[in-house]
Structure 1
Amino acid sequence: MKAILVDDEPNARSLLRNLINDHCKGIEIIEEAPDVKTAVKLLNKHAIDIVFLDIEMPNENGFALFDYFENPTFETIFCTAYSEYAIKAFEVSAADYLLKPISISKLQLAVEKAIKQQGQNQILQKINLLKENITVNQLQKIALPQADGLTFLKIEDILYFEADGSYTHVITNTEKYLISKKIKEFDELLQGDSRFFRVHRSYLVNIQMILKYNKKEGSTLLFENGKVIPVAREKKSEFDEFISRISV
């Protein structure tokens, strides 16, 4: 697979080139670019499979690259030194990224994932979702991996996440998605998001979607779809304190 490196720092490009050459068999680096405009010329000149793209660059940031292509056919792996929140934005947007300084194992995983995703034609959707999530202080949408690609879902539409072994059911009022991720992964992604609370080892709920909190005969939550979810005994006091912040 043919690749280009896009980064305004020569040392960063040199380091990444060496890591790829030493640890990613089957990846051939064709060219390097110090900015977006040079990268666009290279992409128009060569049939490129993967772009390793820095985000914070002078003049135009990495996202500007996608303004030049109506239907990009290349996979993108972002190389970034962004904050913890921004990393969550990458993850819920299903965008491949490498956090600087780059580790060999994560580089190899990102390359493997990019190879598998080739031809899914959802690159612009992922990039637009990433830009939307990364420019606000609260995640807006999540990309859910499905057998045939990705489903893009507004986070505010989610009623709750329900654990099912190594899988998780993502429930809305109209749909139910089975995702090959443990509920712990969704819990970690949404840590610090005041809309969600892990009320039980099997349930992560959107508190804005609760119809009724019943404290009699055990603590339970009623949702718009009729589902009754228990609040675990060890979570009750913490949940009561959490709810009190939004009570009138």
Structure 2
Amino acid sequence: MYTCLAIDDEFSALEILTSYIAEQTNLKLIKAYSNPLIALSEITKRTKPVDIIFLDIEMPGINGLELAELIKHQTKKLIFTTAHANYAINSYELNADDFLLKPISQSKFERATTNLFSNDEIVHPPENEFILIKSKMQRNQLIKLKIADAIAIEAQEKGTKIYTKNEVIFSNSSLSEIAIFLLKVKAFSQIHRSFIISENKIKILERSHVVLSNDLKISIGRKYADFYHKMTNKN
């Protein structure tokens, strides 16, 4: 059974989260906190890490991103819960294991926790797996983006530019919105504040940049410098 802590200043959201945990036979709630400062005080004194911390982001006194930096050593897995999609990239920069966008349905919660401790990492996305994005050319109509075909996603002033095997798609979906789904797939990484790439589509890897299968050259941002070491240490 996996031990859990839940932190959210909204009582209704905390109540929903704790009820979901209670209904999972493999999860055990140790404590739920509505005050993040009390959570910080108590969690930093723990002598043993818990298995999962569910953490809201927008909270008074200290936000969830700041709190995560101080308590992430006290948990094996970290899942952010928030109503704001724009925090997705920040959460994955903190090596969060998942990002649940409120309102959180029970099915979403169960999907996030079921395989959390599985050793089977996704390296190649299934051929039939896709996400829905807003098409700029088709007046915000939702279209399917086949994940296996995606090469890179570039943030634009409004929306994103998506490079795929067969075409370039302009979308009104933000990089943060797309990151919620793509950064869960182990074959995708953010290497620059404006770019998420498919690791499987890297043709040339240098410390300063990558060249992808479509010959797109992208600089590796200083904030993401450990990406080079991550890739070279894979073997």
Q: Which of 50, 54, 72 in structure 1 is aligned with 2:52? A: 50
Deviation sequence 1:163-217 (CA, Å, 0-9, x none): 99579xxxxxxxxxxxxx9335666xx265478543642889xxxxxxxxxxxxx
Q: Which residue of 1 aligns with 2:18?
A: 17
Q: Which residue of 2 aligns with 1:155?
A: none
- TM-score, scaled relative to structure 2: 0.50
Q: Classify the secondary structure of the residue corresponding to 2:108.
A: helix
Q: Which residue of 2 aligns with 1:157?
A: none
Q: Which residue of 2 aligns with 1:137?
A: none
- What does 1:1-248 correspond to in 2, within 5 Å? 1-22=2-23, 24-43=24-43, 44-45=45-46, 47=48, 48-69=50-71, 71-83=73-85, 85-87=86-88, 90=91, 95-116=97-118, 165=127, 182-184=147-149, 190=153, 192-193=155-156, 196-198=161-163, 200-201=165-166, 229=214
Q: CA RMSD in A?
A: 4.4
Deviation sequence 1:135-176 (CA, Å, 0-9, x none): xxxxxxxxxx777xxxxxxxxxxxxxxx99579xxxxxxxxx
Could you tell me which runs of 5 or more consecutive residues in structure 1 were left unpaired when the two chains were aligned: 118-144, 148-162, 168-180, 205-222, 231-248
Mapped to 1, the partners of 2:54 and 2:99 lie a distance apart of: 9
Q: Is contact 2:55-2:64 (8 Å) kept?
A: yes
Q: Is contact 2:151-2:165 (8 Å) kept?
A: no
For 2:8, give the aligned amino acid. D
Mapped to 2, the partners of 1:197 and 1:59 lie a distance apart of: 38
- TM-score, scaled relative to structure 1: 0.48
Q: Is contact 1:50-1:114 (8 Å) kept?
A: no
Q: Which is richer in helix?
A: 1
Mapped to 1, the partners of 2:81 and 2:65 lie a distance apart of: 12
Q: Which residue of 2 aligns with 1:234?
A: none
Q: Is contact 1:4-1:51 (8 Å) kept?
A: yes
Q: Is contact 1:31-1:42 (8 Å) kept?
A: no
Could you tell me which runs of 5 or more consecutive residues in structure 2 were left unpaired when the two chains were aligned: 130-145, 170-203, 216-235
For 2:46, give the aligned amino acid. K
Distance 1:166 1:7, change over 3 A: same
Larger Cα-atom Rg? 1
Distance 1:113 1:186, change over 3 A: farther
Distance 1:203 1:39, change over 3 A: same
Distance 1:229 1:15, change over 3 A: closer
Q: How far did residue 105 of structure 1 move? A: 1.7
Q: Is contact 2:150-2:165 (8 Å) kept?
A: no
Q: Which residue of 2 aligns with 1:171?
A: none
Q: Count residues in correspondence.
A: 156
